[in-house]
Amino acid sequence: MGRFFKRETIERKKPGFFRRLLRWAVLLVLLASVGWTVWVYKQIEATATIDHAQRADAIAVFGAAEYAGRPSPVLHARLDKAVALYDREIAPVIITLGGGQDKDSGKTEGGVGRDYLLANGVPYDQIIAETQSVDTEQQVQRLQEIAEQRNFHTIVVVSDGTHLFRIALLCKRAGLTVYTSPRAPLGHIDDLDEAQRMMHEIISYTSVRLDLHLSWLHRELEEHGS
């Protein structure tokens, strides 16, 4: 009889033990997630505030939206930064990256970027327009192919400050040596928009590190943020 009650008591304790174990596991996962998010946030912020541009073989401008053949404000700012670097003789060649969609009537981010550079005094033979990629990962892949074809060993990459930490990781994985150079800020960005951009980059960077290959999500978020 005593053994029966003892066994029953142990069996009653088991669910409570497993519930506590589950709570601790959830707590540890939450703490790890918060710690990772804070670390990535600080790395993105640090990369966004320092211009590492130095002498290189080429300058690469990562694509952003274009409107009927005209660069969006974001793409405009990136291209202006590339022109400024070119004028400082940081590199003799500028690569414009980015394709288009059916709604763009044949226009591409890379092509619009090339036209803008031509209008701002960069010679045609000093511009390489890549017009097939549809997201950041594909732009890095195409950049790696161009670098290999043209024997470029070092590249200054230009994009939004918050975008550059992820770009640097993708370029490193592609075997590229790059120096990050953020574009100039565009007026005042409200806190909500800034938080959305940062969260997009944290999620995108994490998915790259985990090899999740969420290109569809990256494209959707990048189109929203351009």
pLDDT digit string, tens, across residues 35-81 = 999 999 999 999 999 999 999 999 999 999 888 889 999 999 999 99
Does any domain span residue 167?
Answer: yes
Beta strand pairing call for 177-182 and 154-159: parallel
Q: What is the pLDDT of residue 215?
A: 58
Could you tell me if 84 and 43 are in contact, meaning their C-beta atoms sit under 8 angstroms apart? no
Least confident of 25-29, 83-87, 148-152, 154-158: 25-29
Does residue 75 lie in a domain region?
A: yes
Does a structural domain hold residue 5? no
In a domain, 87, yes or no: yes
- Does the residue 193 lie in any domain? no
Q: Measured between alpha carbons, how far is 132 from 139 in angstroms, rounded to an integer?
A: 8
For residue range 140-162, list pLDDT tens digits in order.
999 999 999 999 999 999 999 99
Task: Round to whole Å and give the CA distance between 78 and 73.
Answer: 9
pLDDT bucket at 200, cuts 50 / 70 / 90: confident
The answer to whether residue 108 is domain-embedded is: yes
CB atoms within 10 A of CB 132: 14
CA proximity to 95, closest of 122, 71, 68:
122
Which pLDDT value is given to residue 14? 57
Q: What is the pTM of this model?
A: 0.82
Q: Is residue 33 part of a domain?
A: no
Residue 29: pLDDT over 90: no
Which range marks the domain in which residue 164 is found? 58-188
Find, among 96, 81, 88, 98, the residue nearest to 56 by Cα. 88
Please check whether residue 94 lies inside any domain of the structure. Answer: yes
- How many structural domains is the chain composed of? 1
CATH code where residue 67 lies: 3.40.50.620
pLDDT band of 184, cuts 50, 70, 90: very high
Of these ranges, 14-18, 26-30, 214-218, the one predicted with the greatest mean pLDDT is 26-30
Looking at the predicted structure, is the pLDDT value of residue 199 above 80?
yes
